[in-house]
Amino acid sequence: MATSALVDVRDVVDWLVHNEERISQLYRAAAKVCCHDRLFSSFLIQLAEDEKSHAEFMSRAWESLCTVEDRPTLDIVLDEETRRKVEGLFERFQRSLVRAKVSRKDVVEYMARAESSELNPVFLYIADEYRKTGREGERMAGEIQGHLLRIQNFIENLPKDERPSVDVCSLPSAGELRFLVVDDHGPVRRLMASLLSRRGMVDTAEASEEGLERLREHFHNGVVSDIQMSGMDGFEFYKRAVEYDGSLKGRFLFCSGDIDSETEALLRRGDLPFLKKPFGLHDFYGAIEKILSSPARVDEAGN
């Protein structure tokens, strides 16, 4: 038996949870320091919430993985040098926040280094193992991927002189994205699926009832739906979907050629993204990217 096999993977999980909680606290502290920059402060608060969720997720993931027959193992050792390197980074980040002045560039640099540290690949390994166990694992992997996209999009929009030395766009993903297209018009359904296949896996359905079945089978990072369909229309489909899984709120994009003033008012009142056919590819991809990088939302019932 190889001596490099990790005897107690729980030790790694506990270390991951501790550090996810710590980086959450650091992001929250950085948000206070940068409170004069409202957009940046809000961004950091969202990252803090993400990391808190990741810590909870890691604990649940490991508890679930411990019940499967083929319990995953890590053929690595969490050596003291790695611990010191990651924890030292967080300690330097914390010290920088108590200085008289800390710039946005400084915070962004620490953020990029934290997200690309040795913590990341081990975390993603366990997340990927959990993703394979079913829909809940897929959902959590989707939220992690959204976290990475938010960071990448934020940094891409920074002036060049404020970007970090670490290329966060090269960070590994938390798993392949998955989309659902629901439209009763075959050619349009196939076109949407073809466009989305450039970003990940795509499931399709020609009716809302079938769409609900697909949503129960897998978690989807984005759902593109028509509104006027035979049987259950797009609004009822959305309502039933978020009743089943509140995290699907905010993941819908409605695409329809029958959007009159009354329908548009309903969409805007519900804060539901939409595109009126015909629409440009730039607008379509832009709407999808916005959905993928938006924070997770829940329905009014708190599901």
Rg (alpha carbons) of the chain, rounded to whole number: 21
* Structural tokens at position 183: 């439209």
pLDDT of residue 132: 85
Locate the domains of the chain by residue range: 9-170, 177-293
CATH of 177-293, one of 3.30.420.40, 3.40.50.300, 3.30.479.30, 3.40.50.2300: 3.40.50.2300
Determine if residue 175 is left, alpha or beta; phi over 0 gives left, psi from -120 to 50 gives alpha, anything else beta. left
* Region 13-42 average pLDDT: 94
Residue 85 has pLDDT above 50, yes or no: yes
Cα 79 to Cα 133: distance, rounded to the nearest angstrom: 29
pLDDT of residue 300: 45
Which pLDDT tens digit goes with each residue over 193-202?
Answer: 999 999 999 9
Strand intervals (E) in the chain: 177-182, 200-205, 222-225, 252-256, 274-276
Which pLDDT tens digit goes with each residue over 86-95?
Answer: 999 999 999 9
Of residues 169 and 237, more confidence is placed in 237
The gap from C-alpha 169 to its chain's centroid, in whole angstroms, comes to 15
* Region 95-115 average pLDDT: 90
200 vs 22, 34, 120, 191, 255, CA distance in Å?
32, 36, 22, 15, 19
Cα 295 to Cα 303: distance, rounded to the nearest angstrom: 15
pLDDT band at 62 (very low <50, low <70, confident <90, very high): confident
Cα 273 to Cα 295: distance, rounded to the nearest angstrom: 15
Does the 9-170 domain belong in CATH 1.20.1050? no
